[in-house]
């Protein structure tokens, strides 16, 4: 009787495991999701082609660049870069690039040199097929209402130049933007949202850094509807592993946020970078609240 029970239990256990394995290995739905190539920074510096092929094989449909300089992307001309990405089966979506202002430029409200740099930069991005340019850094260490106004005016000017080339311009946050300005009870991020032109500057919310900044992404979506055309979907390591980020609530509120694109970024890893970016994409492909496509 004992042997019969153990045999029966083994059959049930095998069936349960087989069912779970089959569920895990099932075909996941295809979704239009981009990868920030900074996630594979070490690999891409060693072998560009094999790394972008790895991203395509994982299921990503487009990329966001993180290495622009002197008219090139990852050492390639804009045309070479675009062809390499498309040959791998993906699209060029966006790029992180920034030209800051020094203290003299801020004091004199003088963007002349900066905007000349942007003229060349925007043309390179247009040639690479970029739909979006996003600036990921900012001079916020001593933010006041006065110098923040200058920065917001500058972002509007850059946004205007991008729009002339059919490119949308946005700003990407870290945690510092959720601190108060030195001379105000207003958060830097709120000031930026209220002092940039919605027609010229969108916001690429990095949801992980918003959480680290002790803020609710959903509250911002509702407070500033339509301003968040892109989301940087990030966790402490692989997506959904830390329990820190309420992804479901965020994805249920993307319509009010105005989301057009999701971009995965993995900065730290429990596994190899290649495995981590695939796990993160699979997490989104399995999530019922993540749409197949966002851009209208």
Give per-residue pLDDT as tens, 209-250: 999 999 999 999 999 999 999 999 999 999 999 999 999 999
User: Tell me, what's the pLDDT at 28?
Assistant: 86
Q: Which CATH number fits the domain that encloses residue 149?
A: 3.20.20.150
- CA distance linking residue 100 with residue 199, whole number of Å: 22
User: Tell me, what's the pLDDT at 108?
Assistant: 96
Residue 151's domain comprises 33-286
Domain-located, residue 22: no
Q: Which stretch of DSSP H or E encloses residue 54? A: helix 48-58
Query: What is the CB neighbour count within 10 angstroms for residue 45?
Result: 12
Domain-located, residue 197: yes
Domain-located, residue 209: yes
Q: Which of 228, 223, 233 is nearest to 255 (CA)?
A: 228
Domain-located, residue 266: yes
Domain-located, residue 108: yes
Domain-located, residue 81: yes
User: Tell me, what's the pLDDT at 26?
Assistant: 59
Write phi, then psi, for 190 (nearest 5 degrees).
-65, -40
With beta carbons less than 8 A apart as the criterion, state whether 82 and 128 touch.
yes
Write phi, then psi, for 26 (nearest 5 degrees).
-65, 160
Q: Which residues of the chain have pLDDT under 50?
A: 1-25
User: Tell me, what's the pLDDT at 278?
Assistant: 98
Domain-located, residue 61: yes
Domain-located, residue 202: yes
Predicted TM-score (pTM) of the model is 0.90
Based on the structure, what is the number of domains in the chain? 1
């Amino acid at each position: 009787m004992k042997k019969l029970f153990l045999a029966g239990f083994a059959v049930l256990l095998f069936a349960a495991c087989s069912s779970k394995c089959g569920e895990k290995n099932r075909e996941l739905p295809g979704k239009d999701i981009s990868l920030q190539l900074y996630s594979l920074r070490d690999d891409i510096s060693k072998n560009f082609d094999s790394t972008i092929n790895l991203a395509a094989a994982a299921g990503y449909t487009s990329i966001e660049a993180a290495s622009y300089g002197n008219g090139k992307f990852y050492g390639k001309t804009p045309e070479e870069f675009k062809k390499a990405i498309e040959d791998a089966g993906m699209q060029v979506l966006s790029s992180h690039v920034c030209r800051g202002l020094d203290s003299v430029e801020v004091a004199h409200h003088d963007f002349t040199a900066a905007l000349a740099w942007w003229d060349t930069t925007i043309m390179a991005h247009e040639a690479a097929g970029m739909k979006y340019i996003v600036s990921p850094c900012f001079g916020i260490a001593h933010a006041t209402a006065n110098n923040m106004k200058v920065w917001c005016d500058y972002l509007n000017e850059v946004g205007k130049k991008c729009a002339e080339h059919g490119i949308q311009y946005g700003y990407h946050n870290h945690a510092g933007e959720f601190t108060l300005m030195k001379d105000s009870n207003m958060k830097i991020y709120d000031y930026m949202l209220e002092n940039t032109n919605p027609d010229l500057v969108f916001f690429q919310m990095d949801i992980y850094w918003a959480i680290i900044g002790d803020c609710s992404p959903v509250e911002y979506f509702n407070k500033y509807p339509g301003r968040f055309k892109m989301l940087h979907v990030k966790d402490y390591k692989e997506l959904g592993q830390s329990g820190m980020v309420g992804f479901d609530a965020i994805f249920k509120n993307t319509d009010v946020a105005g989301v057009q694109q999701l971009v995965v970024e993995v900065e730290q890893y429990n596994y190899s970078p290649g495995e981590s970016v695939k796990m993160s994409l699979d997490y989104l492909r399995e999530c019922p609240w993540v749409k197949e496509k966002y851009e209208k």
